[in-house]
Amino acid sequence: MNEPPPPPPPAQEAAGSILVVEDEADLVWVVRFNLELEGYLTYVANNGHMALEMLERENPDLMLLDLMMPVMDGWAVLHEIRSRGLTRPRVVVVSARTGPGDRKRAEEYAVDAFVPKPFDMDELLATIRSLLPPPRRQE
pLDDT mean over 54-77: 95
Within-domain flag for 137: no
Q: CATH code at 31?
A: 3.40.50.2300
Q: Tell me: pLDDT of 5 over 60.
A: no
- Residue among 75, 118, 70, 110 nearest 90 (CA): 110
Within-domain flag for 37: yes
Q: Tell me: pLDDT of 90 over 80.
A: yes
Domain span at residue 71 reads 17-120
Within-domain flag for 52: yes
pLDDT for 8: 43
- Residue among 31, 90, 41 nearest 61 (CA): 90
- Residue among 31, 33, 9, 18 nearest 136 (CA): 9
Q: Tell me: pLDDT of 23 over 50.
A: yes
Within-domain flag for 139: no
Alpha-carbon distance of 50 to 100, in angstroms, equals 28
> CA dist 123 to 4, 94, 120, 138, 139, Å?
46, 12, 5, 26, 27
Within-domain flag for 138: no
- Cis ω for the linkage preceding 118 (within 30 of 0): yes
Radius of gyration of the chain (CA): 17
Within-domain flag for 125: no
pLDDT for 78: 97
Within-domain flag for 26: yes
Within-domain flag for 12: no
- Mark out the alpha helices in 18-120 (DSSP H runs): 25-38, 48-58, 74-84, 100-108
Count: domains in the chain: 1
Alpha-carbon distance of 81 to 100, in angstroms, equals 23
